Chains A and B, each alone.
Chain A
Amino acid sequence: MNSGPIITTRDLRKVYRIGKVEVPALRGVDLQVQPGEFITIVGPSGSGKSTLFHIIGGLTPPTAGEVIVAGQNLAATSDAGRTRLRKGAVGFVFQKFNLLPNLTARDNIIVARHIAGMDGAPDTKFEEVLRLLGIAHRLDHKPNELSGGEQQRVAIARAIVKNPAILLADEPTGNLDTENSQAVLELLRGLNQQLGQTILMITHNPEAAQYGHHTIHMRDGRIIERT
């Protein structure tokens, strides 16, 4: 197993240009995440949490600084390189679930495996994940036939079915009631503890933040505290 950090950022900066106005979203973020860690990120809106996620997940390039994810320096990687990162090393879970509406839960998961180049029969880990998530009996339903909690479990299954090095969860309980929120958080904790899944989770909920090994506090595009 790689003993070094799975995520490293040094003086990471991101500036968005809106018309002629430059808006700095990240103003020099230094972060290290070890394999198997469960990190939560909290901070007010506009603090740069999502931007940090998008850069670590390879959805957008940084403006300056260094970001190394699963051994790849994303500051020096092309769009195709970032696509490869999303394909294999990173799995996303979104607040709005983002399942493909016309496909069943099973097909949503199969599409993710197909894109990742895993077209063979599901492995034992896949079966274990489905058991862990408790959605095996709901796989033939379309998203609009599933509750919010079920949809988010399918989204988690879709994210981890390709065995990503890192699971990025952006407000995964933001659209769920308390009961389902707790269930999803327990699932993420279970994945971390039982499968050793590295997880970074954005949350506004202080209770949800408690599920991580560490919590990073962000404000105005900087990390102001790590607890």
Chain B
Amino acid sequence: MRTLLSILLIGVPVTLILSLVGLTHGLLQDSEQRTRGIGADVIVRGTNAGATFNFTGATLSEGFVAFLQKQPHVKLAMGVINHPIELPLVVTGIDMAKFNAMSGGFTYLAGGPFQQPDDVIVDRYYAAQRHLHVGDHVTIMYKPWRVAGIVEGGKLSHIFVSLPVLQDHDSATGKLSQIYLQLDNPANTSAVIADLKKTLGPEYPIWSMADLTSMLSIDKIQGLSQFILVIMGIGVVIGFAVVCLSMYMAVLQRTREIGILKSLGASKGFILRIILMEALLLGVGGTVLGILLSFGACWLIGAIVPASIPMVIVPYWWPIAGIVTLVGTGLGALYPGLTAARQDPIEALAYE
């Protein structure tokens, strides 16, 4: 019972670590996939926009689209407006014709394009999260919308409305959050960006989509790596505490057995080794259980909030979580192990 409880308690922080890593990877993969799905080569943002994510207001004038459309090598310019709702979810206002031309259009799982101003198109993840069907009415941005279509995910956003409707809703008529450019040849991307920076000035954030997607990694998001390190540290501390307590109890329970082994000639090193071995087995058991529980967490999150938190399983983190756990359990077993190794054999043999 003690062993099973210890394995469970060691497994929980492993699950926490793997879930956190799965969440961050899932969010970034989801963003990357949707960014690639647009079919653009270059993105132009307003002067006050952030680098990786843009949750700022619409600051670009719609006139920019016509201007950019005329630039050399630009095949298509498409402006969109973003309205963050429950982060990381964003409602995106699109020009359907341009969106279809640039991305190849939606793959409709049900319903179809916008029919009326209060229509919304959602991807299957958001539909699953909100239990939506075509024709349902859903409140988004404190306003009722009719679900016109449910589409396959992976293109730009999870929730779409008509561009002028969202501009009007946000009192941002004629304004855009960002403009995507599709070029005649992706090989011209660097040249186009250089020309645009020269023309517009350095205050406008202009990136290639390849650069933008490369920013969608854990290392590039400020503070994310440190946050994961802190969670890993908590995992080590919990593993340490659980194993320390568990093994200390085990040593107390087995005082007489330790005395017997000592009477047989077992050295301090031998006693310490068997305590550490047991702790490491607990650590391995906890890691395996933690990995299994992370699958459960992934399934549960996927069933409840697939659009908001697109968690994924990240197998290359299993050995990392395992090593973190084994370090914690090894350290946790050290004190009980040394206590056992130092026990006086006569007192241990007399222990009832």
What is the 8 Å Cβ interface bit string for chain B, positions 325-352, against chain A (1 contact, 0 not)? Answer: 0000000000000000000111001000
Contact call B346/A80, Cβ cutoff below 8 A = no
What is the 8 Å Cβ interface bit string for chain B, positions 254-289, against chain A (1 contact, 0 not)? Answer: 001101111111111010000000000000000000
Identify which of A79, A86, A101, A116 contacts B263 (C-beta below 8 A): A86
Interchain nearest-CB distance for A103 vs B (Å): 10
Q: Does A106 sit within 8 A of B, measured CB to CB? A: no
Contact call A83/B346, Cβ cutoff below 8 A = no
Interchain nearest-CB distance for B165 vs A (Å): 73
Interchain nearest-CB distance for A213 vs B (Å): 25
Tell me which residues across on chain A come within 8 A of B265, comparing CB atoms.
Answer: 83-88, 115-116
Q: Does A94 sit within 8 A of B, measured CB to CB? A: yes
**Size class of A's contact patch?**
20 to 34
Near A by CB (< 8 A), chain B positions 230-273 give 256-257, 259-268, 270
Contact call A86/B346, Cβ cutoff below 8 A = no
Tell me which residues across on chain B come within 8 A of A115, comparing CB atoms.
Answer: 261, 264-266, 270
With A and B bound together, what is the CA distance between A101 and B256 in angstroms? 10
Tell me which residues across on chain B come within 8 A of A87, comparing CB atoms.
Answer: 264-267
Given A54-B346, A59-B346, A60-B346, also A98-B260 (CB < 8 A): yes
Contact call A111/B264, Cβ cutoff below 8 A = yes
**Size class of B's contact patch?**
10 to 19
Classify the interface of chain B: helix, strand, loop or mixed: helix
**Which residue of chain A has its CB nearest to the CB of B270?**
A115
With A and B bound together, what is the CA distance between A101 and B262 in angstroms? 16
With A and B bound together, what is the CA distance between A111 and B257 in angstroms? 12
Interface centre among B256, B264, B270, B344 (most CB of A within 10 A): B264
With A and B bound together, what is the CA distance between A132 and B169 in angstroms? 97
Q: Does A92 sit within 8 A of B, measured CB to CB? A: yes
Tell me which residues across on chain B come within 8 A of A86, comparing CB atoms.
Answer: 262-265
**Which residue of chain A has its CB nearest to the CB of B260?**
A98
With A and B bound together, what is the CA distance between A138 and B346 in angstroms? 29
What is the 8 Å Cβ interface bit string for chain A, positions 75-97, against chain B (1 contact, 0 not)? Answer: 00001100111111000101000
Contact call A92/B257, Cβ cutoff below 8 A = no
**Which residue of chain A has its CB nearest to the CB of B261?**
A115
Near B by CB (< 8 A), chain A positions 130-168 give 158
Interchain nearest-CB distance for B255 vs A (Å): 12
**Which residue of chain A has its CB nearest to the CB of B256?**
A98
With A and B bound together, what is the CA distance between A197 and B344 in angstroms? 28
- Which 5 A-B residue pairings sit nearest by Cβ, starting from the closest? A87-B265, A86-B265, A98-B260, A59-B345, A115-B264
Residues of chain A at the chain B interface (Cβ within 8 Å): 54, 57, 59-60, 79-80, 83-88, 92, 94, 98-101, 111-112, 115-116, 158
Residues of chain B at the chain A interface (Cβ within 8 Å): 256-257, 259-268, 270, 344-346, 349
Q: A87-B265, A94-B349 are in contact. List 19 more A-B contacts (CB 8 A).
A: A54-B346, A57-B263, A60-B344, A60-B346, A83-B265, A83-B268, A84-B265, A85-B265, A87-B264, A87-B267, A88-B265, A92-B263, A94-B263, A98-B256, A98-B260, A100-B257, A111-B264, A115-B261, A115-B266
